[in-house]
Amino acid sequence: MTILPAALLAFAGPGTYQAAPLTPDLDEPAAFESDCIPVLCYHGIGGSGALSVSPERLRSDLEILYEAGFHLALPSDLFTGFTRVPSDRIPVILTFDDGWESQFELVEGRDGLETTAGCAVGILEAFCEAHPDFGRGAAFFISWDKIPFGQADLIDEKLNFLLDNGYEIGNHSLRHASFMRIPTDEWERHLAGAVAKMKPYIGLRTSLVTSVSWPGGRFPEGARFDEILESMTYQGSPVASCGFLVDGSLLDLSECTGTDGRYRMGRFDMARCSIYSVIRSRRIVDREPRTGLHDPLPWRARALPPLRIR
């Protein structure tokens, strides 16, 4: 499978997207070094915010990913080697930062609460129902400087809906302050404190909230910073099993096999990139169906080892 069929490429003309001009060798097979997958970062859906994209744009991105052979995956798939993803599909992880209401809005309908069609969850639910072979799920990174998803009396409903329906909740910190500036002795308050805020709503399922997206998209370099995160727990569970930047790079699975790299995984800010500019990279794993059940997986990535609590 080539990840960009010619018909799809022909679609990449002028218009909404700012994709670079097509190159004639784009259909060449991916290089052997291809161990990368895309992780997409969205913020608001609709509205005039600088980081927002329109509902139509999100729907279009899903359509293009689906047609190009991608399959939805989650941060937790990093720990299982993406075994949920069919062998002829390419994993892509969708993430939504901040917990804006436009990501998940509920309204009173004829039969009770309904998800609005134009919010991120509404768009994902409709698309995944229509395309069951695309998988389902996305990660929502919540920060507690605002009411998660905007509707104060529905936090419980929304967080549990996500966990019940194949989505993941991630940690975007207590106050949305950059970890480039917070003193390290306050990190636990900003991260474990954010998980504690979820406890009244999701109870023991706080143990599932172990991935972090760094506010502002940056996290300091250096092993001493990783060590702080590795030892951080909330009621016996790791607080930070992995962490995501917003650096405009692909997530290189070959760099995430040990502790190194797990706190600095690349993501694309989708308000600044076209989906074509992301998926045209030949560094993305190229999925050829395995001919036999025991053939090796077509990527070299191994599952991230779980953190050992010290």
Q: Could you list the residues that contact Zn ion (CB under 5 A)?
A: 97-98, 215
Q: Minimum distance from CB of 278 to Zn ion (Å)?
A: 19
Q: What angle do CA 203, 208, 213 make, to 5 degrees?
A: 115
Q: Minimum distance from CB of 235 to Zn ion (Å)?
A: 25
Closest to Zn ion by CB, 77 or 97: 97
Q: Minimum distance from CB of 141 to Zn ion (Å)?
A: 7
Closest to Zn ion by CB, 171 or 210: 171
Question: Can you name the residues that pair with 70 across neighbouring β-strands?
Answer: 90
Distance CA 142, CA 224 (A): 25
Contact 160, 113 (CB under 8 A): no
Q: In 99-134, where do the E strands start and end?
A: 106-109, 112-115
Q: Minimum distance from CB of 271 to Zn ion (Å)?
A: 12
Structure tokens at 24: 């004639």
Three-state SS annotation for 148-195: CCCCHHHHHHHHHHHHHCCCEEEECCCCCCCCCCCCHHHHHHHHHHHH
Distance CA 40, CA 55 (A): 15
Closest to Zn ion by CB, 34 or 102: 102
DSSP 79: G
Closest to Zn ion by CB, 44 or 238: 44
Q: Minimum distance from CB of 198 to Zn ion (Å)?
A: 17
Backbone CA torsion sign across 279, 281, 283, 286: positive
Closest to Zn ion by CB, 140 or 234: 140
Q: Minimum distance from CB of 215 to Zn ion (Å)?
A: 5
Report which of 285, 242, 281, 234 is spatially closest to residue 264, judged by C-alpha positions: 242
Contact 285, 264 (CB under 8 A): no
Closest to Zn ion by CB, 47 or 203: 47
Closest to Zn ion by CB, 63 or 269: 269
Q: Minimum distance from CB of 174 to Zn ion (Å)?
A: 12
